[in-house]
Amino acid sequence: MVFESIATEALSLLGTQASVGWDPVSLWNQMGWLGRAVVIILFVQSAWSIGVMIDRYIAFNAARKQSRLFAPAVAGALREGKIEEAIRIAERNKKSHLAKVVTAGLQEFRAHSESNEISGEQVEASKRALERAEAIVHAELKRGLGSLATIGSTAPFVGLLGTVVGILAAFKKISETKAAGLASVAGGISEALVTTAVGLFVAIPAVMMYNYFTSKVEAFDVEMDNSSSELVDYFIKRSGKAVR
């Protein structure tokens, strides 16, 4: 009798596996409307995070490339005292984070030079312009990263919701069929595992890329701070020469 019950259970499991199917289409067909809604939400989150990743990668790559060309060119123009030339160089590299900051400082310094302001006020106004530009560029660089962090933190919980729904469906099936065992809960468990796996699949890349892009933004902030400090020093020296 024991062997017969084991054989019966094994045959029922094989029959369930054959009817359940583990390919994506079969798993989708087995899901209830709530489980499908969870998967759709996860795929929307995945598409959004991929879009942010591509956008930030292109923006950061362009900023890095243009900054490498901009920094030595504008330094050479400033050494020769050619502020107008430095501004033109900065305006030709609009994707560079350094160029955006340096342009604001140079334009403010030039405006005060033309209005014959006292040297101290001239430097302070340029410094404030640099700080405002840094804040604006920092916000531009971080655009979209908040959504990556949100997706990375919420996607596992969305998948967990699908897991709970799948388990509830499995228990409901047990109560309706008055049967217990793997054969009766295979469909619900498969639904639960699918949503959990999709949630992790969405969350892990989002968290990894959020940390990567955040470290890039921090590096850009350091570069902008250094450029601003060097430019303020340049303004102080130039103002001192003008006073003498």
Tell me: pLDDT of 17 over 50: no
Q: Chain-centre distance of CA 205, in angstroms?
A: 10
Q: Over the stretch 166-204, which tens digit does the pLDDT of each residue have?
A: 777 777 777 776 655 555 555 566 667 788 888 999 999
Higher pLDDT: 79 or 149? It is 149
The residues spanned by each domain of the chain are 30-243
Asked whether the beta carbons of 89 and 107 are under 8 A apart, the reply is: no
Q: Over the stretch 108-157, which tens digit does the pLDDT of each residue have?
A: 887 776 655 546 677 788 888 888 999 999 999 999 999 999 999 999 99
User: Could you tell me which of 209, 224, 237 has the C-alpha nearest to residue 136?
Assistant: 224
Asked whether the beta carbons of 90 and 106 are under 8 A apart, the reply is: yes
Average per-residue pLDDT in the chain? Answer: 79
**Model confidence at 35, in pLDDT bands (50, 70, 90)?**
confident
Asked whether the beta carbons of 195 and 163 are under 8 A apart, the reply is: yes
Strand, coil or helix: what is 67?
helix
What pLDDT is recorded for position 22? 53
Q: What separation, in Å, do the N-terminal and C-terminal C-alpha atoms of the chain show?
A: 109
Helix 182-243 crosses helix 97-114 at what angle (to 10 degrees)? 30
Q: Which of 12-16, 30-34, 132-136, 178-182 has the weakest average pLDDT?
A: 12-16
Give CA–CA dist 128/105, Å, rounded: 8
pLDDT more than 90, % of the chain: 30
Asked whether the beta carbons of 151 and 48 are under 8 A apart, the reply is: yes
Higher pLDDT: 30 or 206? It is 206
Give CA–CA dist 224/71, Å, rounded: 11
